[in-house]
Amino acid sequence: MAFVGRTTATRGALIRLRDTLEFIKNGKDILKMKRDRLAGELNAHLTELSRRAKLEERQLDLYDEFKAAVTANGYATVSSTALSMSKLNVDILPTSIMGVVVPKIVVREKPEIKSIRDPSLYAVAEKLRDSIDELLAVAQIEVTIERIAYELMMINRKVNALEKVIIPAYMDQIRYIEDSLFDEDLEEFARIKHFRDVAGREST
């Protein structure tokens, strides 16, 4: 009852409570629709996430290749070569999916590798640079899934709270007021009937 608060059993309060209940039910339906839509989005992204396993496999192969290149060229040469490369430049644009803000990563500039003279380092750097798009795409999918899943959890909690606690509480309160008003009406009817009987007897 704490959600509904203390109300006097009046017709005005009953109308107000019925309106509020209607509004809450509509809200619950909208939340359910949002949940269904987000679940659809989540499913779509989950199928895309299957790319991760292949990507991980490729990255591990690439890492082995990189280790061999570092071992053959020496750490000092590799770190010095890495210094000559330009940085990865990305923009992170916030986009909204049914009110859930997810990042969209746009690559502005990829590292420039023409400063690498050594072919083994060039080959690894080229492959690593080419894998950036795939890595960022998978990272974007993961963040999107994480945020949608969190939002779904929150929506489920809200829908459950509405269905199991708030709506029943309002309905109980409405029923209580309806019962109270019915009792009052019945009492009023009995009183009027009694007065009418008394008045009829006096006139005869």
Q: Which of 2, 6, 47, 83 binds other proteins (CB under 8 A)?
A: 83
> Does residue 76 bind other proteins (CB under 8 A)?
yes
CA distance 83 to 115: 10
> Does residue 130 bind other proteins (CB under 8 A)?
no
Contact stretch for other proteins (CB under 8 A) within 20-28, 63-71, 140-148, 160-168 = 63-71
Q: How far is the CB of 58 from other proteins (least distance, A)?
A: 14
Contact stretch for other proteins (CB under 8 A) within 119-127, 138-146, 155-163, 196-204 = 119-127
CA distance 19 to 24: 9
Among 52, 57, 61, 67, CA closest to 135: 52
Q: Which of 55, 90, 123, 138 binds other proteins (CB under 8 A)?
A: 123
Amino acid (1-letter code) at residue 83: L
| Token reading at 129 | 């640079």
CA distance 92 to 107: 9
Residue count at the site for other proteins (CB under 8 A)? 27
Among 150, 140, 143, CA closest to 35: 150
CA distance 175 to 169: 10
Compose the 87-116 pattern: x for residues touching other proteins by CB under 8 A, - for all others.
-------------------------x-xxx
Binding residues vs other proteins (CB under 8 A): 67-72, 74-76, 79-86, 112, 114-120, 122-123
